[in-house]
Amino acid sequence: MANSEKINEQLENIYINLATLQGSQMNAMTKQTNVKNLIDTENSRLTQKKNTIDQAIDNQKRIIYFNDNSRKINLAYLSILITIAISLAMVYLVRIIFYHFGDSITQYVGNFFSDIIFNILMIAIISIGILISAMNYKTIIYRDPYNFDELRLSAPKMADSTENKGGNLGLNPSGAGCIGPQCCTPSTPQTPGTQWSEIQGKCVYSPVAPATTIPTTAPTIQPAVPPFSPEPFYSPTQ
Instruction: For Cα atoms 131, 134, 75, give the angle at the middle one, nearest 5 degrees.
Output: 115
Condensed to tens digits (0 to 9), the pLDDT of residues 67-120 reads 998 998 999 999 999 999 999 999 999 988 888 877 777 777 777 777 888 889
Domain boundaries, the chain: 2-151, 161-205
Condensed to tens digits (0 to 9), the pLDDT of residues 129-158 reads 999 999 999 888 888 888 888 877 776 665
Helices (H) and strands (E) in the chain, counts: 2, 6
Which amino acid, 118?
A: F
Provide the pLDDT for residue 221.
52
Condensed to tens digits (0 to 9), the pLDDT of residues 167-218 reads 444 444 444 557 777 778 777 777 777 878 777 777 877 776 565 555 555 4
Please tell me what DSSP assigns to residue 189: S
